[in-house]
Structure 1
Amino acid sequence: MSLTLQDVAWHDAMGRIIETLDRPHFWTALVRLLANYVPVDNWVVLIYGAGKPRVLAESPGEDGAVDPLFQDYLKGLYLLDPFYIANRESLQSGLFRLQDVAPECFEQTDYYQRYFRLNIVTDEVHINLQLDNERTLSLSLGSQCRFSLEQTALLGLVRPWVAALMRQRLLFEREPGESPELAPNWQDRLEAATAQLSSPLTAREMEVGRLLLSGCSNKEIARKLAISAETVKVHRKHMYGKLGIKSQSELFSLFLQAQEPL
């Protein structure tokens, strides 16, 4: 059996990572190892479930301060995140690229323009490990440049190693001391924010609105909700009329307001 110097370096690094499984800097050490092979400009480790994602670790800010954009994500913007949506629609382990999960009109959304490209910058991949029927452990890697096919192929090659380490690390993660925070209820909060409406939005109109904001085209929404594209247009027209708005940007602003505590 012949080994290259790169092979030896990888196995040596993995041994060092295993030694850090029970230490606070494990996630940082793991990402630094991966950054030797693919570009990583920011990262976060999350557990996706029915409620707000639980953050296990994240890349530190330049000044060590809390990232306000990421706090906005946790307040409710995650409901528009294509990785979160894909995870809730189909829980599974694997390597997922942004281009695999992003809706057709994702780059035209306010979520992309006002959050994603400022926080993630350009591209993102997730290494997901399904924990049970409700939860997924996810390592998100963000980059200022597009991940190449070679880079994503390399991540796919090492994914079994990384996923095994992620599973073992959970044994050393502290469980939150309080009950998990439930996801902001988009319908209840928006109804409260627009309580003066003479005709409140229906649950279907709310769902169409959320999918529109996430970047889904009329055809994609129709497929997800098992209705026709024309029916989607009708729901959208009724929703805009009730809210007194004319654009998705205005709808996005209302969505942000609905995430704030009542």
Structure 2
Amino acid sequence: MGVDFEKLFQALAPLMNGSAMGDEAVGSAFRQLMSSLMAFDYVVVFAYRGKERPLDLYSTFDAKDHVLFVSLYQAGPYLLDPFYHAACAPRPGVWRMRELAPDRFFSSEYYRTYYVQTGLAEEVGFFVPISEQVTVVLSLMRREATGPFGAAEFALLKRAEPLVAALARHHWADLDHRFDAALAKTGRSRRKALHPPADGVWQHLNLTDREAAIIELVLQGHSSESIGLRLGISTGTVKVHRRNVYRKLGISSQTQLLSLYIKNLGH
């Protein structure tokens, strides 16, 4: 589809007065802006700060899909998400999921048992650092029936990135305070927030720091070769650690590993 200038101007109009808007209004403005450029099925906007539970700023899911894409995701699987790791790096700009995913992501157990449930053909995200610690990711999603974004569409999204970044930075400038408020409600300190439920999983399962680092990368979808390069150790050493972890946990597959991980997130 071509650019719908009427939709585009309608989306830009409420942004011209410069006053701050709420999450729903900002998210809606982003959705309308993007829909003037191309078709997509869903929008979701998350804010990330380190390993803390991400903030759900806006989404267009129905109640059923909201459970999968937001509630379940916030419970712990976000820690295995390539978008989460890119946000923490951070890697500003517009990125396709397949550009950020580890080399074995699409054959990983996380992908097969969680991500594939989304039925997505592609996800593209605008990564906008808001502060030294917070990054907002505004995602556009297409289901398999719609198909992935074409090269010309992706190029158009990259051209729109400065406007989207300015929108996010202006209206979501206070996110550090909102993360602090969310922590206060749970009674957890900022220091404790650096150790999310997943860290407790490794302690509960009695893994060493090196074993935990390797297994976490396995769950994210990294091959033994990729893990070795990231950690500065040989592929053979990675494989030895993986065998030791499987033996220690009494498991024989990545399916069982992910099941243990999810089961122990609440411990």
Matching of residue 10 in structure 1 with residue 13 in structure 2 = no
Task: Establish whether residue 175 from structure 1 lines up as the match of residue 178 from structure 2.
Answer: yes
Aligned mates of 1:113, 1:159 — CA distance in 2: 31
- The residue aligned with 1:38 is 38
C-alpha deviation, 1:36, in angstroms: 3.1
Identity %: 29
Structure 1 distance, partners of 2:174, 2:209, is: 41
Paired position in structure 1 for 2:60: 59
Alignment of 1:1-262 (within 5 A): 10-18=8-16, 22-23=21-22, 24-50=24-50, 51-61=52-62, 63=63, 66-88=66-88, 90-119=89-118, 121-144=120-143, 145-171=147-173, 175=178, 177-179=181-183, 182=193, 183-192=195-204, 194=205, 200-260=206-266, 262=267
- CA change 1:44–1:235 in 2 (3 A) is same
Rounded to whole Å, the distance in 1 between the matches of 2:167 and 2:123 is 21
Q: What is the SS of the residue equivalent to 1:156? A: helix
Whether contact under 8 Å (1:208, 1:236) holds in the other structure is yes
Name the CA distance, whole Å, in 1 between partners of 2:65 and 2:94.
Answer: 30
Per the TM alignment, residue 35 of structure 1 is displaced from its structure 2 partner at its CA by 2.3
Partner secondary structure for residue 46 of structure 1: strand
Deviation track 1:155-198 (CA, whole Å, cap 9, x = no partner) reads: 00111111111111115878353426625243432432x4xxxx
Matched residue type, 1:15: A
Q: Secondary structure at the match of 2:45?
A: strand
Seen in structure 2, the aligned counterparts of structure 1 residues 9 and 185 have a Cα distance that, compared at 3 Å, is closer
TM-score normalised by the chain length of structure 2: 0.83
Query: d(CA) in 1 for partners of 2:3 and 2:48?
Result: 38
- Measured in 1, the distance between the counterparts of 2:4 and 2:203 equals 57
Distance 1:9 1:56 in 2: 23
SS in 1 for 2:264: helix
What is the alpha-carbon root mean square deviation over aligned residues?
Answer: 2.6
Compared CA separation, residues 126 and 245, structure 1 to 2 (3 A): same
Q: What amino acid is the match of 1:168?
A: H
* Contact 2:45–2:58 (CA under 8 A) maintained in structure 1: yes
Q: State the one-letter code of the partner of 1:40.
A: F
Number of aligned pairs?
250
* Whole-angstrom distance in 2 between the partners of 1:211 and 1:112: 13
Corresponding letter in the other structure for 1:27: G
Aligned partner letter, 2:58 = A
Q: Please, which runs of 5 or more residues in structure 1 have no aligned partner?
A: 195-199
Alpha-carbon distance change, 32 to 119 in structure 1, aligned in 2, over 3 angstroms: farther
Unaligned runs of 5+ in 2: none
**What letter matches 1:143 in structure 2?**
R
Supply the distance in 2 between the matched residues of 1:101 and 1:115 (Cα, whole angstroms). Answer: 17
* Cα deviation, residue 121, structure 1: 1.4
Distance 1:132 1:22 in 2: 19
| Paired AA for residue 11 in structure 2 | A
Give the CA deviation at 1:128: 1.1
* AA partner of residue 39 (structure 1): A
Give the Cα separation in 1 of the matches to 2:30 and 2:121.
22
Letter in 2 for 1:188: G
- Normalising by structure 1, report the TM-score: 0.85
Deviations 1:7-51 (A, max 9, x none): 576345322444685254331232133023233222221111112
